[in-house]
Amino acid sequence: MSELANDIKKASLEASERTGLTVTHIAARRGARASLDDVARTAFGVSLPSSPKAVEAQGALIVWTGPDQWLIVQKDETGLDHYAELAKTFNGLASLVDVTDSRTIFRIAVSRPSETLLRSMGIDFHDNSFRPGDVAITHVSHLGVIVWRLPDGTAYDFACARTYSRDFADWLRKTMA
């Protein structure tokens, strides 16, 4: 068990580190937003969100991460190179970076935020404001995070820089203790 997983277990949190994922950051090339959207609709059946939303499509979660930028989170499948597939799909229309190893994604598997989690966030995290499928890029205790609520409302995911994952786990422990 990794030290990080151990930390989480010790704290007996309802949080876990998500593994077995490919995470790709994509940014639309200048002037290519409309054609990129056409290609995305053909490949995933949905438009790329243009506001802070996450949409599920064909087993992938497409997360808005700023104007004309997204994270695509996909579960690893044997014999499939998600990044190479995406690079082929969006060739010439977007710049892609495989950020799988530079991000850690934590999942808090609760359908509603606990009181402490609510109070620990700088943004309005209330059940009525931060709805299923909502995304926010913000910080917690000076650590940058992208947080999204799963479109089916079953969990919250927090993506932080992997270098800071121990600190983030520490924040989680204090928040949820």
Partner 1 sequence: MRINCPHCGERSLDEFSYLGDAVVRPDPASPNAQDAFYAYGYERANVAGPMQELWYHAAGCHAWLVVTRDTRTHEISEVKSAQEVALARQKVAGTAQ
Query: Per rule CB under 8 A, is residue 123 in the interface with partner 1?
Result: yes
Tokens of 51: 């506001």
The single residue among 1, 20, 31, 51 that binds partner 1, judged by CB under 8 A, is 51
Q: Which of 113, 115, 167 is nearest to 140 (CA)?
A: 167
Site string for partner 1, 71-110 (x = CB under 8 A): ----------------------------------------
Instruction: Give the separation between CA 140 and CA 145, rounded to whole angstroms.
Output: 7
Question: What is the contact mask toward partner 1 in residues 144 to 173, using x (rule: CB under 8 A)?
Answer: x-----------------------------
Token code pair at residue 124: 């309005």
Q: Is 66 in the site for partner 1 (CB under 8 A)?
A: yes
Q: Which stretch binds partner 1 (CB under 8 A): 64-72, 74-82, 88-96, 164-172?
A: 64-72
CA proximity to 24, closest of 57, 76, 72: 72
Q: How far is CA 18 from CA 27, 34, 103, in A?
A: 24, 32, 10
| Residues of the shown chain interacting with partner 1 in the complex, contacts defined by CB under 8 A | 51-52, 65-67, 122-123, 136-139, 144
